[in-house]
Structure 1
Amino acid sequence: MKQRFYTYLLILSIILLICMYGHLHTGFSDMSTADLLRILLGGGSDVENLTVFDFRLVRTILAVFIGIGLALSGAIFQTISRNELASPSLLGVNAGAGLGVVLLVFYTGSTTSLGIWTLPLVAVIGATVAALLIYFLSYRGSATISPYRLILTGISMSAGFHAIQIVLVTRLDPNKFYLVNTWTIGTISGNSWSHVWLLVPIVIVLGLFLYARYMELNLLALADETAIGLGVKINRTRFLYLIVAVLLAAFCVAVGGSIGFVGLISPHIARRLIGADHSYFLPLTALIGAILVVGSDWIGRAIIAPDEILLGIIISLIGAPYFLYILAKTKL
């Protein structure tokens, strides 16, 4: 198992580096590999430095960490619900964050009234409120939360949030509508190094926290009776990881928009490659998520260059057929 893990780790790391290179290389101006290396090593002009560092490198780094954050969030949702169809977008977290953003734009007309922290703050509040509602509605007087009830409640709440969102969006003026529509589809263009310094530490800290507690996550993936018998305080532990997963998803969608399917596909592929042991499963899930987002953004920028297709559209074109495949293979 360990040898298999390191083999997959090496292969996925190489694929990610290739995607990152292609992502950095793609843009309005052509650059050779030699030029790109020269600029990255500090030998570029002001215009070249602006192009590579402030536009392309920012976007590449954000794509990597948004992919990691959404993938890990999806992995935790699938673990605590013990269902491979669970993900932030299906369980109402993205919808809650999206509703918060729509309310912000509807009443203020801006997503930066409090500076760079505005969107993350609103997205986290919206996602947390949605997650808490789903969590407590899933109790229904039981001693423990049924994973299936958690998923069904999440899907129902997500539909409700989207309905409210649509009602509000139809009353927006064209400028506000464009802002909300772009964010809802999902894109990482137009971000800055401030967004990198905001998102990267959060993803790293929460990712390391999850990896450090992989044994507890392994126990949480077992049947409730077994986990309780092994000393896991099932409801409290599930709630803790729910909050961690919500924070990861909320900060990622705050920066990259309401990107779907990453949290669904990445853990599913990783589980097929290496199994459900979280010491192996989480690193591969993170790498696959990063590859999916970086690769999709690269394709979106290259396919109709110099124009681009929004990131969320490309991921949906990849994710929707894969979701149908998972659905067909899953016994409900």
Structure 2
Amino acid sequence: MTLKRNGNSYRFSFYLIGLLLLLAGSFYLHLRTGFTDFTDGQLLRILTGGGTAGENLTVFDFRMVRSVLAVLIGCGLSLSGAVFQTVSRNELASPGLLGVNAGAGLAVMLLVYFQNENTALALWETPLAAIIGAATAALFIYRLSYRTGYTLSTHTLVLTGISLTAGIHALQMLLVVRLNPTQFHTVNTWIIGSISGNTWLHAALLCPVVLLLGFFLGARYVDLNVLSLADETAIGLGLRLNRARFLYLMIAVILAACCVSIGGNIGFVGLICPHIARRLVGTNHARYLPVTLLLGAILVLLADWIGRVIIAPDEMLLGIVVSIVGAPYFLYILARTKA
């Protein structure tokens, strides 16, 4: 028992240090590469305060804000996916498949549709609309999956989420034909997913949400471990099952909604990162959550870097790159589940 515990600790430490180094390298690469590449010496000079006004603008206001947002969005979406998979006890669950992203997307689309063309959206309006849409979808799914006097059916939760996602996408298709070209460009970019054009204010809005909810989930890892057990076992250990599922479901919804409100409807991050983390360090959430959020940060950061350089000087939207990586892995998960 002791040898096994020590082995798990060493393996977790190995992966944690390795992923932190990979994240640092990815962050540096993201800052260094773009429309104008910098050498190592130039970037070091700029970061230590010796850059020109143009260089500082490029590194700090254009690239670094994207780097920080990519890390925050990757952490938030991957943590949200991990919680969804724990609550539903289904490794195919994610914010995108359970209707959360779709609900946020429909709310943002309605906001853009009814927006006065002569006034710009306030910074807080899109995140608020996304949270309301995502929470409404999540509450609707929860209500349909819950029966008084019974524990929440995780199978019904997943099936209802998939059905609701399909219905919301149909409504989006009906609405999109009524958008003018400017509105369509805004909505289409958001639906695909991109962090281009965001500012430090967006990072300041997202950072406390991801940090506070991430720390809360890390501190409550025992509850999440119990939630991953069978219902009878969880109840026997004293967990109020329906209340716990609702609480962590809402936390996952808020994380996903805040991230997609700024980065758009980026799929697959919340699906594949928790799955890979489980294969690396197991299901103990004390180890599982840190590895999951690091994988999410690295995936989004590298995907944004690839999108900037693969067809330079043009740019491929972040959501497309993530989908190119995520779709084959999703098919692999499906094949493995059937096997």
- TM-score category (smaller protein): over 0.9
Unmatched 5+ residue regions in structure 1?
none
Aligned to 2:155: 148
Q: Encode CA deviations 1:141-186: one digit per residue, 9 max, x unaligned.
A: 5611111110000000011111111110111111110110000000
State how far apart, in whole Å, the 1-side matches of 2:211 and 2:80 are: 13
Task: Establish whether residue 239 from structure 1 lines up as the match of residue 243 from structure 2.
Answer: no
Partner SS state of residue 155, structure 1:
helix
Shift of 1:71: 0.2
State how far apart, in whole Å, the 2-side matches of 1:38 and 1:30 are: 14
Q: 1:115 aligns with which of 115, 122, 131?
A: 122
Change (3 A) 1:133 1:111: farther
Aligned to 1:2: 9
Deviates more, 1:270-279 or 1:101-110: 101-110
Q: Encode CA deviations 1:88-125: one digit per residue, 9 max, x unaligned.
A: 00000000000000100111157985521111100000
Task: Establish whether residue 224 from structure 1 lines up as the match of residue 224 from structure 2.
Answer: no
Change (3 A) 1:37 1:111: farther
Partner SS state of residue 66, structure 1:
helix
Give the ranges of 4+ consecutive aligned residues of structure 1 lying more than 6 Å apart after TM superposition.
none
Aligned to 1:164: 171
Task: Establish whether residue 311 from structure 1 lines up as the match of residue 326 from structure 2.
Answer: no
Tell whether the 8 Å contact from 1:23 to 1:60 is kept in structure 2 after alignment: yes
Change (3 A) 1:111 1:257: farther
Aligned to 1:266: 273
State how far apart, in whole Å, the 1-side matches of 2:46 and 2:112 are: 38
Deviates more, 1:20-29 or 1:209-218: 20-29
State how far apart, in whole Å, the 2-side matches of 1:167 and 1:142 are: 39
1:1-332 superposed matches below 5 A: 1-108=8-115, 113=120, 115-141=122-148, 143-331=150-338
State how far apart, in whole Å, the 1-side matches of 2:69 and 2:315 are: 17
Unmatched 5+ residue regions in structure 2?
1-7
State how far apart, in whole Å, the 1-side matches of 2:63 and 2:177 are: 34
Root-mean-square deviation (Å): 1.4
Partner SS state of residue 108, structure 1:
coil
Question: What is the aligned-residue identity percentage?
Answer: 63
State how far apart, in whole Å, the 1-side matches of 2:15 and 2:302 are: 18
Tell whether the 8 Å contact from 2:115 to 2:121 is kept in structure 1 after alignment: no
**Number of residues paired by the alignment?**
332
TM-score, normalised to structure 2's length?
0.96
State how far apart, in whole Å, the 1-side matches of 2:105 and 2:36 are: 34
State how far apart, in whole Å, the 2-side matches of 1:304 and 1:22 are: 17
State how far apart, in whole Å, the 2-side matches of 1:148 and 1:331 are: 16
Change (3 A) 1:92 1:3: same
Deviates more, 1:270-279 or 1:171-180: 171-180
State how far apart, in whole Å, the 1-side matches of 2:295 and 2:179 are: 37
Change (3 A) 1:111 1:266: farther
Partner SS state of residue 68, structure 1:
helix
Partner SS state of residue 54, structure 2:
helix
Amino acid at match of 2:308: R
Change (3 A) 1:137 1:8: same
Tell whether the 8 Å contact from 1:101 to 1:111 is kept in structure 2 after alignment: no
State how far apart, in whole Å, the 2-side matches of 1:249 and 1:179 are: 20
Tell whether the 8 Å contact from 2:74 to 2:299 is kept in structure 1 after alignment: yes
State how far apart, in whole Å, the 1-side matches of 2:224 and 2:119 are: 37
TM-score, normalised to structure 1's length?
0.98
Shift of 1:330: 1.2
Change (3 A) 1:113 1:124: farther
Partner SS state of residue 59, structure 1:
helix
State how far apart, in whole Å, the 1-side matches of 2:213 and 2:121 are: 24
Shift of 1:30: 2.1
State how far apart, in whole Å, the 2-side matches of 1:146 and 1:113 are: 43
Q: Encode CA deviations 1:116-136: one digit per residue, 9 max, x unaligned.
A: 111110000000000000000
State how far apart, in whole Å, the 1-side matches of 2:33 and 2:128 are: 32
